[in-house]
Each structure stands twice: as C-alpha cells, then as structure tokens.
Amino acid sequence: MMTTPLTYIPDLGFIPADSGLIPLDACSDGRFIAGRDGVISVHATGDRKVEFIAFTDHTLSYVRSALGYPAYYPVHPVALERPVRAVLMDLDGTSVHSEGFWIWIIERTTASLLGDPRFELEPADLPFVSGHSVSEHLGHCIRKYCPDKTLQAARAFYFEHTHREMQAILDGTGRSDAFVPAPGLRAFLLALRAGGIKIALVTSGLYEKAWPEIVAAFRAMDMGDPRDFYDAIITAGFPLRRGEAGTLGELSPKPHPWLYAEAARVGLGIPFEAHNSVLGIEDSGAGVCAIRLAGFPTVGMAGGNIAESGTRALCQYTCETFEQVLRVIRDP
C-alpha cells in the first residue's frame, strides 16, 4: 500500500503532500530562503496569502498584503484542552450564509464605477471578491474592469450601496434572502450557552455590514437581541471616510490574527496561557489562518473555501455540521 509523503513543519506538525500547502524556494519577500541560514523549508497556503518559514524548532508565518503592509507572526503549537472555555465563531459563511449578497454589492459597485447598470462579474472573479478585505475585493475589480478609476471612488460607491441596502434590511424592507442563518446554528448556540461556554462572534466585516447580518439572523431564529446573547462581538470597525474618524480594520483583517486575539483576550478576558481551551470555527482559508496564528485550535467547516485555499492542514478538526462541532467540544 502506498502512503502519502509527509513534511514536518514545527508547530504545525506532519503535513501530507496533498494538504494544499505549496513548497517554495524562498519567502516571497526574499528574506528567507529554504536551505539557508537555518531555514528548513518554506511553504505557502494554496491561495498564497500566508507563507510558513520552518526552522529546526520553530516556524514563522508571513502574511502577505495586497495593500503593501505584510507582517510576520510566530506560529504557536495548539492542542485542544477540555473543558472548552470559549468558542470563537466566524460570521459570514460559518454563522450566516451571506456571500452571494456581498458579491452582489461588489458587482453593483463596479457597475457604478463603469456607469453600466447591466455589468455582471464573471465566474473567474469569484475567488477575488470573497474572503478578502473590502479594499482587496474592489482593487481586483478596478485592475480588471476599470483601471482608470481609484480605490477611493470605488469605496465611495461601495458604502453608498451598502448603507442603502443595510438600512433597508434593518427596517425590514430589504432583501429577505440576504442573510440566512446556517443550518443548526440556533441549537448549537443554545447548547453552548447551556454548557456555560463563552461565545464570541468574529468578523472581518465592517460594523455597518456585519451588524444588520447579525440582527437579521437573530430575527430569523427568534433569539432576540444578539447583544444580549454573545459574550463578545468583534468586527473590523468603522470605515475611514473623508470628514469622519475610522477605526483599524482594512489593514488587519483575516488572515492576520488580531480580530480573534482581541475577541478572546479583551472581549472574553481569557489569557493567552489558556489558548488551548479556546476553539475557533471558520469556513474560509483566511479565517483558518487567522485563528491558527492567534494560537487557537481550529475547526474547519465544510461549505467554504478551506480546501481550495490550501489551508486544510491548519485545521485540527474538520466538520460538516454544528452537531459534529459539539462532539468535538464534548468528547474526551
């Protein structure tokens, strides 16, 4: 019987050849080269967003940036410790199915830039208009469809469309199919609450995008005000606009670790020393990297782009349903 070759990356473990990670000769910034200066190997996730530089006894991660501000982070070893004290949950895709709506907003924004209300995105655009920051989504569309336009102009149209549609949803007059709770979400949340497990909701979405999603989902589940339910809700803050104060968010979204780190340490008050008793749940490659780089054991949920992004090896568990996640939490 043939066995799949394994590559060992310290703090990540043994990685099968079919994991989706891509071996590289060097880090993309040229700082680290495989086989030199103590570097054993260099690997990238399948989507090339994160690179791992392996040494004999530790590993560094390099998070690339489409906006010119990459960063290095240490990789921490993780192993789930029970009883689980807290669960950190992604919003889009994991808790709420909303990707189609946000892709539609990007499409409408590009149509406005072009002055063509009939404009439609192509299937090839889909990997570039989901799972990234707003500015990265818009940057792709500008480069491909309207290189004479600016990111600032695109953001202005984007937030015009977003504000109008979000307000309509909060008023109960917007698209009823925009935000649908994931199957089994209500029972899962109530089971966590009954078990005394803290729950944080974590999203790279800006507040004005995320809050109507959360409200719509809780309205559909008849669960009242989400502020009364979650122990912490972390978003990417408020957009920077001319004449207004913005908050940090566009340069530090997933796959950077900060949103998940802040949710656990600041929102839930859990020190890093207890990081293995905190479980993160994601359906996207960027989110999986964010949880993992924040130092938490990770559940990869089916239905997202984990396999396509080449981040499956970063998940300690893979689940198709919330019932399976509960078994992970409860089983010894």
CATH code: domain of residue 307: 3.40.50.1000
> 289 and 220, same structural domain?
yes
> 163 and 27, same structural domain?
no
Question: Is the pLDDT at 72 greater than 80, yes or no?
Answer: yes
Which of 170, 195, 216 is at the close of a domain? Answer: 170
The stretch 84-107 carries a mean pLDDT of 93
What's the structural domain count of the chain? Answer: 3
User: Which H, E and C letters describe 224-291, residue by residue?
Assistant: CCHHHHCCEEECCCCCCCCCCCCCCCCCCCCCCCHHHHHHHHHHCCCCHHHHHHEEEEECCHHHHHHH
The stretch 133-151 carries a mean pLDDT of 93
* Residues of the domain holding 63: 6-74
Question: Is the pLDDT at 321 greater than 50, yes or no?
Answer: yes
As a whole number, the mean pLDDT across the chain is 93
The stretch 57-80 carries a mean pLDDT of 95
Residue 255 domain-assigned? yes
- 260-272 b/e (C-beta count within 10 Å ≥ 16 → b): bbbbbbebbebee
Q: What SS3 class is residue 180? A: strand
Confidence of residue 144 (pLDDT cuts 50, 70, 90): very high
CB 128 within 8 A of CB 96: no
Question: Is the pLDDT at 227 greater than 90, yes or no?
Answer: yes
Closest alpha carbon to 181 in 93, 301, 102, 306: 93
> 147 and 65, same structural domain?
no
Q: What is the CA radius of gyration of the chain?
A: 20
Residue 226 domain-assigned? yes
Query: Which of the pair, 301 or 246, is modelled with greater confidence?
Result: 301
CB 250 within 8 A of CB 215: no
Listed as own residue / partner, the contacts of 133-140 with beta carbons closer than 8 Å and 24 or more positions apart are 133/66, 133/67, 133/204, 133/236, 133/249, 133/250, 133/253, 134/158, 134/206, 134/239, 134/250, 135/66, 135/67, 135/250, 136/66, 136/67, 137/106, 138/106, 138/109, 139/66, 139/67
Question: Is the pLDDT at 249 greater than 90, yes or no?
Answer: no
Angle, vertex CA 262, rays to CA 280 and CA 32, nearest 5: 80
Question: Is the pLDDT at 19 greater than 60, yes or no?
Answer: yes
Residue 187 domain-assigned? yes
pLDDT confidence of residue 1: 47
Cα 34 to Cα 39, 42, 52, 118, 253: the distances in Å are 5, 6, 11, 49, 28
Phi-psi region of 10 (alpha: psi -120 to 50; beta: other; left: phi over 0): beta
> 149 and 51, same structural domain?
no
> 276 and 138, same structural domain?
no
Confidence of residue 131 (pLDDT cuts 50, 70, 90): low
The stretch 212-223 carries a mean pLDDT of 91
Residue 176 domain-assigned? no
Question: Is the pLDDT at 3 greater than 80, yes or no?
Answer: no
The stretch 236-260 carries a mean pLDDT of 88
